[in-house]
Amino acid sequence: MKYNFRGARGSNAGDEFHELWALRQALALMEHDTELSAVTVEGVRAEDENGQPLDAWDGVDCAFYYGGYQIASVERMSLTNSNIHPRILNKCGL
């Protein structure tokens, strides 16, 4: 079966994938021995945006804070941008 991922359907499929992926990553916060302290979706924590240009963090889909809750105090931080096209999801069977 061939799917048409143009327009709203494709956009929604990408949004759903992104939301589920972010949730799965955030579940790591519940692990007893994790170094992961915080996860944000669509940018960084509001406190970390102070003094930055309004669009400074626009490309960040998820931010992972390890060993702290603010950029100034984390041991490590990972920023992700999940630019995945719904057609790729279809090829993966998702």
pLDDT in tens, 55-66: 888 888 899 999
The total domain count for the chain is 1
Q: Is 78 part of any domain?
A: yes
Q: Is 1 part of any domain?
A: no
CB 94 within 8 A of CB 18: no
Q: Is 36 part of any domain?
A: yes
pLDDT score for 59: 83
Q: Is 2 part of any domain?
A: no
pLDDT band at 29 (very low <50, low <70, confident <90, very high): very high
Q: Which pTM value belongs to this model?
A: 0.70
Task: State the Cα–Cα distance between residues 9 and 87, nearest whole angstrom.
Answer: 11
Q: Is 20 part of any domain?
A: yes
Q: Which residue range is the domain that position 15 belongs to?
A: 7-91
Q: Is 64 part of any domain?
A: yes
Q: Is 83 part of any domain?
A: yes
